[in-house]
Amino acid sequence: MAQMLTQTLKTEAINTQIGGKIAPARPVSDQFGAIAGHAGLVATEFSYRKDEEIYGEDEPAEYVYQVVSGAVRSYKLLSDGRRQIGAFHLPGDVFGLEPGQTHRLAAEAIIATSVRLVERASLERVAGTDVQVARKLWAMTAGELRHAEDHMLLLGRKTAMERVATFLLEMDRRLAVANMMALPMCRRDIGDYLGLTLETVSRALSQLHAKGILGFSGARQIVLRNRQHLHNLDA
Amino acid sequence: MAQMLTQTLKTEAINTQIGGKIAPARPVSDQFGAIAGHAGLVATEFSYRKDEEIYGEDEPAEYVYQVVSGAVRSYKLLSDGRRQIGAFHLPGDVFGLEPGQTHRLAAEAIIATSVRLVERASLERVAGTDVQVARKLWAMTAGELRHAEDHMLLLGRKTAMERVATFLLEMDRRLAVANMMALPMCRRDIGDYLGLTLETVSRALSQLHAKGILGFSGARQIVLRNRQHLHNLDA
DNA sequence: CGTCCATTTGAGGTGGATCAACCCTAGTGG
DNA sequence: CCACTAGGGTTGATCCACCTCAAATGGACG
């Protein structure tokens, strides 16, 4: 976070800002608003360039983040460079929330991304006096756990085609606008999320394209033409 | 939980019981005690036979459980029967804790198991007035999330041998007594936990045995003779 | 001591990985 | 405005780690 000082930085009392638009592509319950509608909580805006690190694995968890625009990947690495992406964070999503002292995964901007952030310490302070806030933090962590549990099933037991079908339905749900989704991430990111190689992801997408189940307009602009078929593949 | 009425059932005020021994094989911070040292919270003891279901996937989350003795598997199924075990719960562990209305995974006793349980509703009630309890619940869910994140890396990116090595080190840490671990689960359970077949698990164990890295005294009694080697394999 | 299930071991098949071109397109500079 | 380039994406050929199917072995328990 050292380079933060060298970049544009905007700080303001959160309760003058939260409640306004935060630019998600679709209606999203504003999780940050729910936890941050409190005097004394200060939110800061910050931006990252494509592929810039937001925090590293096992780094002290100083801030909690919300994506305003762009996209973020959270991941773990093995010593030889193998990577597992645990989650993609899209506009509206909160990430980096930890009750412990350190981040369990690293986080990087996938594309140019701006975030809102608050100090973990101040959030903890508020949670220490307001049970509603404490409850909300618990619920957010539980939401992440639910996603992780679903993803373990995918990684441990689904075939390549089932994984890709599940991925497409997830992204369709989370970022499709007017029936079209604009994926921010490359094939390698998708592979590292699904426990596959980028070639296998590409082949699965080509197969779905050949069957007319999806349409492309550019490799990252996808229209789902047959969600039911994908749901069936998804097992 | 209907069959509960047909079995031995013992209820008592939790603060007369918690704080005493709960029979974990090793010193464990008593998570249940920390959340339950409150007037009005009632803990019930209950037992399950080998392979008995404790709750099903998507069933209402009526109780929160702590293993007193025995072992439990939490898992998800695909429609065709493929199974992913998300976690094993051993003496001292809390499981079935959900801020939502339903259980995200099913739970079964692996062997004869006894648990202590409290109503989720009463726990929530206490959490609604006591921030310390609320904080503890959050921390427990975050602990499960951490495990799930580590396990995603294993399922998505580790080789069969690395998975088995990681499993052995985890079980050694959690249930070894006098340098020996008595695994409660069969090879199929291990495979469904690691995203492998039971045959692949068996072959990996045989290989480690042949190299002298572990010793057997019966298929489920294992002694680790070279933890460093396992840590290296674990990548 | 026999039965039954868990485990091991073997033989062979295969889904996805790896290695290798090639292609497409967005961005760059002339 | 277009040629050039680089990085991302696709496709093909081959390989191999793990799965599947099958059989033998072992151990726990009546």
Q: What is the pLDDT of residue B167?
A: 98
Q: What is the pLDDT of residue A40?
A: 75
Q: What is the pLDDT of residue A110?
A: 98
Q: Residue B142: is its pLDDT beyond 70? A: yes
- What nucleotides of chain D have any atom within 7 angstroms of a protein Cβ? 8-13, 17-22, 27-28
Both tokens of residue B38?
């409150």
Task: Measure Cα distances from B59 to A151, A216, B53, B123 in Å.
Answer: 20, 40, 12, 18
Q: Residue A1: is its pLDDT beyond 50? A: no
How confident is residue B26, by pLDDT bands cut at 50, 70 and 90?
very low
Interface of A with B (CB under 8 A): 76, 78-80, 82-84, 86, 98-100, 104-105, 127-129, 131, 134-135, 137-139, 141-142, 144-146, 148-153, 155-158, 192, 194-195, 235
| Residue in the block written with tokens 């069957």 | A211
Q: What is the pLDDT of residue A23?
A: 40
* Mean predicted confidence (pLDDT) in A79-90: 98
Burial of A2 (0-12, 13-18, 19+ CB in 10 A): exposed
Q: In what order do the strands lie in the sheet with B10-13?
A: B10-13, B42-48, B113-119, B63-69, B94-95
Q: Which range is least confidently modeled, B15-24, B35-44, B76-85?
A: B15-24
* Mean predicted confidence (pLDDT) in B26-34: 57
- Mean pLDDT (chain A) is 89
* Mean predicted confidence (pLDDT) in B162-175: 98
Identify whether the C-beta of residue B193 lies closer than 8 Å to the C-beta of residue B148: no
* Mean predicted confidence (pLDDT) in B25-47: 70
- According to DSSP, residue A29 is labeled -
Residue–nucleotide distance: A200 CA to D13 C1' (Å): 15
Identify whether the C-beta of residue A166 lies closer than 8 Å to the C-beta of residue A193: no
Q: Residue A7: is its pLDDT beyond 50? A: no
Residue–nucleotide distance: B8 CA to C14 C1' (Å): 51
Q: What is the pLDDT of residue A29?
A: 58
Q: How far apart are CA A36 and CA A123, in angstroms?
A: 8
Yes or no, beta carbons of B128 and A135 under 8 Å apart: yes
Looking at chain A, which residue has its C-alpha nearest residue B125? A131
Residue in A79, A152, A235 closest to B148 by CB: A152
Q: How far apart are CA B43 and CA B40, in angstroms?
A: 10
* CB-CB neighbors (< 8 A) of A35 in chain B: none
Q: What is the pLDDT of residue B29?
A: 58
| Residue in the block written with tokens 């998570």 | B31
Q: Is the CB of B199 under 7 A from strand D?
A: yes
Yes or no, beta carbons of A104 and B131 under 8 Å apart: no
Q: Residue B4: is its pLDDT beyond 70? A: no
Identify whether the C-beta of residue A123 lies closer than 8 Å to the C-beta of residue A41: yes
Q: How far apart are CA B189 and CA A156, in angstroms?
A: 13
**What class is the A2-154 domain?**
mainly beta
Domain covering B158-233 in this structure, CATH number:
1.10.10.10
* CB-CB neighbors (< 8 A) of A194 in chain B: 156
Locate the domains of chain B by residue range: 2-154, 158-233
Task: Write out pLDDT tens, residues B69-98.
Answer: 999 999 999 999 999 999 999 999 999 999
Mutate to test the interface with B, among A123, A141, A163 (most CBs of B within 10 A): A141
Task: Measure Cα distances from B19 to A27, B86, B124, B208 in Å.
Answer: 47, 29, 21, 40
Both tokens of residue B187?
């090879």
Of A233, A150, A153, nearest in space to B81 by CA? A153
Residue in A128, A135, A142 closest to B98 by CB: A142
Q: Which residues pair with A102 in a beta bridge?
A: A60
Give B146's Cβ-side CA count (13 Å radius). 16
Backbone angles phi, psi at A169, to 5 degrees: -65, -40
Q: Per-residue DSSP letters for A159-214? A: -HHHHHHHHHHHHHHHH-BTTEEE--S-HHHHHHHHTS-HHHHHHHHHHHHHTTSE
Task: Write out pLDDT tens, residues B107-137.
Answer: 999 999 999 999 999 999 999 999 999 999 9
Q: What is the pLDDT of residue A189?
A: 98
* Mean predicted confidence (pLDDT) in B205-215: 98
* CB-CB neighbors (< 8 A) of B99 in chain A: 135, 138-139, 142
Q: What is the pLDDT of residue A37?
A: 64
Both tokens of residue A227?
């969600």
Residue–nucleotide distance: B202 CA to C8 C1' (Å): 7
- Mean pLDDT (chain B) is 89
CA angle (B82, A196, B154) in 5-degree steps: 65
Yes or no, beta carbons of B195 and A155 under 8 Å apart: yes
Q: What is the pLDDT of residue B8?
A: 39
Q: Per-residue DSSP letters for B203-228? A: HHHHHHHHTTSEEESSTTEEEES-HH
How confident is residue B235, by pLDDT bands cut at 50, 70 and 90?
confident
CA angle (A84, A85, A89) in 5-degree steps: 170
Residue–nucleotide distance: A66 CA to C12 C1' (Å): 52
Rg of chain A (C-alpha set): 18
* Residue spans of alpha helices (H) in chain B: 31-36, 120-129, 131-157, 160-175, 187-194, 198-210, 227-233
Task: Write out pLDDT tens, residues B181-205.
Answer: 999 999 999 999 999 999 999 999 9
* Mean predicted confidence (pLDDT) in A216-226: 97
Q: Residue B20: is its pLDDT beyond 90? A: no
* Mean predicted confidence (pLDDT) in B99-105: 97
Nearest nucleotide to the CA of A196, by C1', is: C16
Q: What is the pLDDT of residue B40?
A: 75
How confident is residue A235, by pLDDT bands cut at 50, 70 and 90?
confident
Percent of chain B at pLDDT above 90?
Answer: 82
* Mean predicted confidence (pLDDT) in A169-187: 97
Task: Write out pLDDT tens, residues A103-147.
Answer: 999 999 999 999 999 999 999 999 999 999 999 999 999 999 999
Coil, helix or strand at residue B168 = helix
Q: Per-residue DSSP letters for B78-107? A: -TTS-EEEEEEE-TT-EE---SSSB-SSEE
Of B178, B170, B184, nearest in space to B220 by CA? B184
Interface of B with A (CB under 8 A): 76, 78-80, 82-84, 86, 98-100, 104-105, 127-129, 131, 134-135, 137-139, 141-142, 144-146, 148-153, 155-158, 192, 194-195, 235
| Residue in the block written with tokens 């096992």 | A58
Residue–nucleotide distance: B65 CA to C28 C1' (Å): 63
Both tokens of residue A219?
């490799």
* Mean predicted confidence (pLDDT) in B37-42: 75
Smallest CA–CA distance, residue A126 to chain B, in Å, is 11
